[in-house]
Structure 1
Amino acid sequence: MVCMRSRLGMETYTPAQLNPQLILLAEWVRKEAFLHQMVQVPVWILFYVIQGQFQYQIGKHEGVAGPDDLLLCPPHTQFHRHMIRPSTFLIMNFNWFSPQGERIESDRQLVPSPVGKFVIQDMQRLASTYLHFQKLVDRIDSFALERRNFLLQDLWQLYTWEWDCAQRDLREQVDDPLMKRAEQLLRHHAMGRLSLKSISSELRLSAVQFTRRFKTVYGTSPTDYVTSLRLSKVRTLLLETQLTLNEIASQCGYENGLYLSRVFSQKMNISPSQYRQSHHL
């Protein structure tokens, strides 16, 4: 994924592209009332509701938050809340930085923007993330601080992935048999030697026509689509096997572990070794 430029001239990013730095992690259990009905702070606020219910208003977004809902409030934005039922929730204050080190303070730089209430469909994964956060709430050692940031980054990776899948499902409703055939070819050859030129020739399209048409249907270029397939398998092998990076590279279409590490770090904002270690909590 690459950053784009908004109509206002600002660079825009997916949440998965940004680097979070957690400032505060706290858990409240069966809280009966908020000490302040409105807060406005210079950092991002993330609520993960476990139990209970409360009303909220974040800028133009308002409603009722309940179990498994997540709420995101941008910096310098009024966050109104009123308890309906005693609630248990995690609260996180954090800063967000672009890959270039720019501090992100506006939701207008997020595409998609999760500001307000949003949900994660993978409830099992979300519950696992919550349990890991719970273990780290009271720890302030360097290991815990690093893992907190990783878990928060992983949450945004999951959110962006689910949003992308939902958009892809909508795009796949477009009736384009040739591009569906192209997607099947890419998926079939993704983990081996892949020539986009040969695939475009098989489809009787020029490379430019193939790329433009594929992106219209799937919202991403053929190259980026193959990369996403490969990195999905790489992540699985990192977590479920003890294979070396060179061995993983050979199974995922990369020449060697060094090149795989470069691609993985660029796309995931974390090295393969850090990714593997961070999941072995």
Structure 2
Amino acid sequence: MEHDPGTNLRFKAFLDNESQDSVELALNYCGIEECRPGYHHSPPKRSIYLIHIILKGKGTLEIGDQTFQLGVNDAFLIPPYIKGSYKADREEPWVYMWIGFSGLKAYECLTQAGFGQQRLVRQVTCTKHLHEIIRKMLEIPQLTLVNELRRNSMMQWFLSELIQEYQTLHKTPDTYPYSMGAYVSYAKGFLVENYNKKVRVNELADQIGINRSYLAKSFKKMLGCSPQQFLVNLRMEKAVAMLKNTEFPVNQIAAEVGYENPLTFSKIFKQRYGISPKNYRASAATFPTAQDDRVE
């Protein structure tokens, strides 16, 4: 923290790291600034993304051919290689915090947080939390690997707060950051690992971070079946293998593939294959598995 009454600033605290454009996401610098009345700043064009969030007072942002009159809880973005300037009000000079960051995922994070080349300003309601994060960053200024990792984790938490707030306020149904394939892949992996446990599709969707209908739609599009059908197919495939290759009683096999009630298991098995598990085992070891029951 600095206090120099001879400068144009009443209060300023900041950190400055080396550029880390090549990593996925990295903090370049951050700070908190209490401006003198009419203080004007026109930073040079940089290769990073720079976000300011106003904590108190008001001022003016000029960027390109646009002018914004901004106040408390307004946040503004200055994108890479874009020239911008901002000026504190003479009567109510602003206090703002800022964070500069770069990396391969920087733009993706910003778009998820409601910013973009055409969306340079937005309101923020989680200002208190963001302020606390910046404060914590400023408390560990030493340039050590340990502190760098901690600052980067705090910077990611900072962005996650912005993203979560924006998505809570503006998220439309079935708008998610990852592809259908990514969600289906995760869900498939979970079901393969937990097919013998009690699985609820709505809880699985919650765990992934999407709603149940979107998960079902994704499965239908990618695999041609619902998550529940996929789970049943997987359980039946496991049961067939056990009937062929073990001497476990049917009630034990039912439990092994996730059915507490052997009668429920037998009913589903017979609906699927037209024969009971007991008769299946007795009939022939070469009884074919239905093609559409095989889990890819």
What TM-score, normalized to structure 1?
A: 0.47
Larger Rg: 2
Which is bigger in relative contact order (C-alpha 8 A, separation at least 6)? 1
